[in-house]
Chains A and B, each alone.
Chain A
C-alpha cells in the first residue's frame, strides 16, 4: 500500500459552477466555487444547474446516484459535466470512475439538489457501494449545513464494501493547505478543515467558498486504487459570531429577569398593604 498520490495523473475536479438554467456552457474558473444570482433567486440556494469541470477525463465514466439509489449516466463533454435536474430533493452522489488497468481511480462528490421530497435518507446513499474504493462522509453535512473552515468532520474509508484500516489520507484545499491522517481499525478518519481563507476580517460576514478534496490510495494484487472525495467548504461564521458576547447578552437577560422579579415582589407588598 502506498500513500503517495500522483495528483497529476488523476482527473481533477477543478470547480463547480452554478449555471443559469439552459446555459450550461461555462468557462473554466479558478479552483473555487462561484455562485450567481439566478433569475432573482437567492444565490444561497443555488437552484440552478450545476456544472462540474474535470481535467484529464478521457475514458472516465460518470454517474449520478439519486437519493432512491437509482443511477443516471452522465455525459462528460469537454472535461465538463452538467448535472441534470432530477426534480428530487436531497443529496445526490456524482461518481466518476476511470479504469486504466492497473490503476483504478474514482472521484465522488455529494451534491444537494432541490425538488420534491425524496422520501429517502442520505444514509442510504452513503451506505451504498458506489465504487470499489471510496471515502464516505460520516455524516454528510445535514441539509442546509456545509463544511466550514476550522470544523472537524469524520469520514470512513471503504474498500470493496468493508472498512479500510491503516490507509493514509490527505485533505487538500484549493487555498493550498493540506492535512494528513491515517484511517483507524474501523476505517474512520477525523479531519479538521484548515481555517485558511485569506484576508478574513473579524466581524465581517464572509460568504466565500473554496474547494477541498480528500484523497487516498491503496494497492491490492498489483492494482492501484485511488479515490477522491470532493466538496466545497465555507468560511467559519465564528469570525463574525461571538460566543462570549452571546453569553454576556444571555447574562444580561438573566439580570433583567431578576430585576423583573424584584419589581413583582415590590408590587405584591404594596398590594398587601
Chain B
C-alpha cells in the first residue's frame, strides 16, 4: 500500500513530528513557561522538560487546586476568585479540545507515541505480544483513570492547599507521571529519574514514578498502550468528548455482530465499538481516535472518522484488504523470524 494512503503511516508521521515539537520545540518557541504555545495542552507534554514547546493542562490544574482554590478555601476568601484560574485553564483546554477531541491522545501525546514506538519495537523484535487484554481485565482497569483524575489531579492538590495534607502532595500526578521522566530524559536531563528520600511522601511518590516508568517500558513492548489505559488525561477528555468536532461514527450493519475486527484492532481494547448497534457516535471514553478500527473494518462506511458532519476517513473493503496484508508483512518481518530463518538455513527447517 502506498504509505500516503495508509492512515497508520500518516498518523505515525504526525506522532513523531508532534513528539519532536512538544519535547524539543522550546528551541523554537522559547525557554520560559510564558513562551509555551498554550500552557494548557490536552496531552502529556511535561513542563519539567525545559526544551518543550508546551505543557500539559494537568500541571496548572494541580497548581491551581493547591495554590489558588485550596488557599482561598483555607483563608475563607472569595471562592470565585479561587476558581477563576482553573476555569481559565479549562477554557483554554476546551478551545483546543474542540478542534481535535480525543485525537490529542491518539495523534499528538508524546507518551502515547513513545508507547506505540515501543510496541512497534516489540513487533520488530518478534516478541510474543498480547493482541487484546481480556474484557474482565479491561473493565477492572477502566475506573483507575477516574480515580487518578479525582484524587491526584484534583483531590490531593486541593487538600494540600487547604492544609489537610502535606505540601508534597500538591502535584501528586506530576510526581508519578512517566511523561515527566521520559521527556526530561529525552532532552538529556536525568534529574527527574530519582528516588527522593526527603520524607515518606516523596519516597512513596518517587518509588511509584520510577517503578511505573520501568513497568511501562517493558509492558509497552508486548501490550498496547499500557499507561494510556490509566491516564487521567483520557478521563478528562472523556468528560468533554461530546464537545469535540472529530468523532468516531458507526453505521451498524447486521454483519457487525459476527465480525468484531474493529475491537481487535483497537489498541485500547474497546469491545463496545463492536457490540454497540444503536448509537452512531461511538467515541467511547477510552477512545483515542487513532482510527485503527476504521482501517480494519471490512465493510464500506460502517465506521467513519467524521469532522463535524464531514467524513474524513471511512471504512473501505479495498483499503481493508491491502491494510491487512501490509500488517501481516510488517509483523512477519521481525528479528525473531530472521534469526529462525537463518538457523533453519536455505532448505528450511531441518527436523
Contact = CB atoms under 8 A, between A and B. Distances in A.
B67 A118 contact: no
B156 to A, nearest CB: 15
B194 A243 contact: yes
B198 A121 contact: no
Nearest to A91: B32
Interface string B214-239: 11111101110000000000000000
B212 A253 contact: yes
A142 B39 CA distance: 14
A244 B175 CA distance: 18
Contact residues on B (Cβ < 8 Å of other chain), bracket = 35 or more
A55 B145 CA distance: 56
Contact of A253 (B75, B163, B215, B221): B215
A123 interface: yes
Contact of A252 (B32, B71, B214): B214
A268 B35 CA distance: 50
B74 A40 contact: yes
Contacts of B320: none
A247 interface: yes
Of residues B206, B211, B221, which shows the largest number of chain A Cβ atoms within 10 Å of its Cβ?
B211
B339 interface: no
B309 interface: no
Interface of B: 30-35, 47, 50, 67, 71, 74-75, 128, 130, 163, 167, 181, 190-191, 193-199, 202, 206-207, 210-219, 221-223
Contacts of A241: 191, 194-198, 206
Interface of B is mostly: helix
B210 A261 contact: no
Contact of B32 (A119, A143, A251): A143
Interface in A135-182: 139-140, 142-144
A265 B128 contact: yes
Given A142-B31, A253-B211, A245 B195 contact: yes
A44 interface: yes
B77 to A, nearest CB: 10
B32 A254 contact: no
A114 to B, nearest CB: 9
A250 B34 contact: no
B55 to A, nearest CB: 11
Contacts of A122: 32, 34
Contacts of B34: 67, 90, 117-122, 143
A51 B248 CA distance: 58
Given A121-B34, A123-B30, A249-B211, A254 B75 contact: no
A77 interface: no
Contact of B193 (A121, A204, A243): A243
B32 A123 contact: yes
Given A250-B193, A253-B215, 6 more contacts: A144-B33, A205-B199, A248-B195, A250-B214, A256-B215, A257-B221
Contact of B195 (A123, A242, A261): A242
Contact of B213 (A242, A250, A265): A250
Contacts of A246: 193-195, 206, 210
Contacts of A120: 34
